[in-house]
Amino acid sequence: MSQQNDRKAVGAQGAKTRTRLLDAARTAFADRGYPATRVDDITQAAGTSHGAFYLYFANKQDIMEALADETSAEMFTLAEHLEGIRPGEQGYQHLRRWIEEFVDIYERNSAVVAAWIQAADDTRFVHLGREVLQKFAGRIAQVIQDSVHAEHRHPINPGIAATALVAMIERFCYFWIVYGGPFPREQTVDTLTAIWYQAIYGVDPAESGLATI
């Protein structure tokens, strides 16, 4: 095998090890909570040595930040998917698919979100959380600005509306998914979609004859 192929093999193996550590950290944070999780717990779950851990991460906070970065990147991509929403049946279904995707991402990353909140006394996570909220809500605000027309509702402040809607759905999902709130999934997605649609356009989707169920 050539030297170049040797480097590729080491790089591929390294990527697998790093992914294994990230997955193990996600599991450990879910099982033990962020404050109680130790690097030992992560390396044992990943089946790696401490040496391997410190090749990729400086400490527990560092691996948590990497997980938070992955989650925030998913959310930023999701924000782009709301582009093009318009009032009416097609727009309502577009919004419903978007809400469902938000729930899927939140559920998939619920352990990271919970750990992120538990690590709130770390200023790095406070700043990252603020940045994620500002970027995500800012993108939603632009969608609201582009989508709302005078004939559909009274004027609103897109920034305030977006921040309130994002805060609402994030807090709700935290209660529902992390704490296990007793709500059926389909009914939850339908209800959240109706709330967002009415908040953006000022009309009740059910009264407009949209297929809300």
Asked whether residue 213 is domain-assigned, the answer is no
Q: How far apart are the first and last CA of the chain?
A: 59
Across the chain, what does the average pLDDT equal? Answer: 85
The whole-number pLDDT of residue 104 equals: 95
Asked whether residue 72 is domain-assigned, the answer is yes
Together in a domain, 50 and 64: no
Together in a domain, 79 and 154: yes
The whole-number pLDDT of residue 102 equals: 95
Domain count along the chain: 2
Q: How many CA atoms lie within 13 A of 139 on its CB side?
A: 16
53-80 pLDDT per residue, tens: 999 999 999 999 999 999 989 988 998 8
> Which of these three, 36, 57, 78, is where a domain ends?
57
Together in a domain, 72 and 157: yes
| pTM, entire model | 0.82
> Which of these three, 15, 35, 57, is where a domain ends?
57
The whole-number pLDDT of residue 4 equals: 41
Together in a domain, 139 and 85: yes
179-213 pLDDT per residue, tens: 888 999 999 999 999 999 988 887 778 777 776 55
Mean pLDDT of 120-131: 80
Which tokens in the block code for residue 165?
């809607």
Residue 183 belongs to domain spanning: 58-208
127-155 pLDDT per residue, tens: 888 888 888 899 888 888 877 654 555 55
- Report which of 60, 66, 62, 102 is spatially closest to residue 81, judged by C-alpha positions: 102
- Report which of 68, 178, 138 is spatially closest to residue 60, judged by C-alpha positions: 68
Q: Poorest-confidence range of 106-110, 122-126, 140-144, 171-175?
A: 122-126
- 40: CATH: 1.10.10.60
DSSP 18-83: HHHHHHHHHHHHHHH-TTT--HHHHHHHHT--HHHHHHH-SSHHHHHHHHHHHHHHHHHHHHHTTT
The whole-number pLDDT of residue 66 equals: 93
> Phi/psi at 37 (nearest 5 deg)?
-75, 135
Using left for φ > 0, alpha for ψ between -120 and 50, and beta otherwise, residue 202 falls in left
> What length does the chain have?
213
The whole-number pLDDT of residue 211 equals: 62
30-51 pLDDT per residue, tens: 899 888 999 999 999 999 999 9
Q: Which residue has the tokens 């809500």?
A: 137
Together in a domain, 156 and 74: yes
Pairwise pLDDT comparison (130 vs 169), residue with the higher score: 169
